[in-house]
Chains A and B, each alone.
Chain A
């Protein structure tokens, strides 16, 4: 059972453009919604995270938008750069479940120069 659905599977953006990745979840008990970034040949690393009582969180060029009623959240990368080319995973966690992250399927982002 896939509890976190992510789209698109792949995304190509021109340098300077906005990259948008969307996720939807089912479990209303999730407490945190982190995003992870993975470069080729490396393990994922935490990029940014949001709680469900906040509608938006911004860190530099990266912004999470959260819609609790729709059970959706998205990652926006402003002024996308070739160095942002990576695979991005949304995730969700229910703290009382023993810190088990549920990951989306991943989005492979390519930013063309």
Chain B
């Protein structure tokens, strides 16, 4: 199993550009999540999904959109990129049972907006 894969690994965007961060998991997990990680700030939840067709906002959803058309894929869309979106983005997935607190993380995408 590849686990959780993310593409691209690195990206530089200009202010106002848009892009999609891709996330795929092959563990048949129901739950998927997008986090951003800023230095000294921990991981902040952007959006999450409890199954195909179901998504919900996390703590910091402004400026982002998601969709979940399949169990495996959970892309994150950035519209009109801003410097405040410079961050490292992690996708994660988890089972419902037995250990719902165990999330499996991808390797991350480092995004710079200039």
B43 touches A49 (CB 8 A): no
Name A's B-contacting residues (CB within 8 A): 6, 9, 32, 34, 41-46, 49, 89, 91, 93, 95, 98-101, 103-106
Choice from B42, B44, B102, B107 contacting A43 with Cβ under 8 Å: B107
Partner-A contacts on B (CB < 8 A): 4, 31, 40-45, 48, 50, 56, 58, 90, 92, 94, 96, 99-108
Q: Which residue of A lies closest to B107 (CB)?
A: A43
Question: Which residues of B lie under 8 Å from residue A41 when comparing CB positions?
Answer: 107-108
Instruction: Contact check, A98 vs B50: say whether CB atoms are below 8 A apart.
Output: yes
Evaluate contact between B43 and A44: CB separation under 8 angstroms. Answer: yes
A51→B51 CA distance, assembly (Å): 26
A89 to chain B, nearest CB (A): 6
A100 touches B58 (CB 8 A): yes
In the bound complex, CA of A9 to CA of B39 (Å): 10
Which of B48, B105, B107 has the most A CB atoms < 10 Å from its CB? B105
Contact call B101/A32, Cβ cutoff below 8 A? yes
Q: Are A43 and B101 in contact (CB under 8 A)?
A: no
Do A43 and B106 form a contact, CB below 8 Å, given A9-B40, A98-B56, A106-B40?
A: yes
Q: How far is the CA of A34 from the CA of B105 in the complex (A)?
A: 14
* Inter-chain contact B31/A99, CB cutoff 8 Å: yes
Q: Check A43 against B45 for contact (C-beta < 8 Å).
A: no
Does B100 contact A44, Cβ atoms closer than 8 Å?
Answer: no
10 A-B Cβ contacts within 8 A? A6-B42, A41-B108, A93-B100, A98-B50, A99-B103, A100-B48, A100-B58, A101-B101, A105-B40, A105-B42
Most chain B Cβ neighbours within 10 Å, of A43, A45, A91: A43
Report B-chain residues with C-beta under 8 Å of the C-beta of A9.
40
Kindly state the separation between the CA atoms of A98 and B101 in the bound complex, as whole angstroms.
Answer: 10
| A95 near B100: Cβ-Cβ < 8 Å | yes
In the bound assembly, the distance between CA atoms of A25 and B22 in angstroms comes to 33
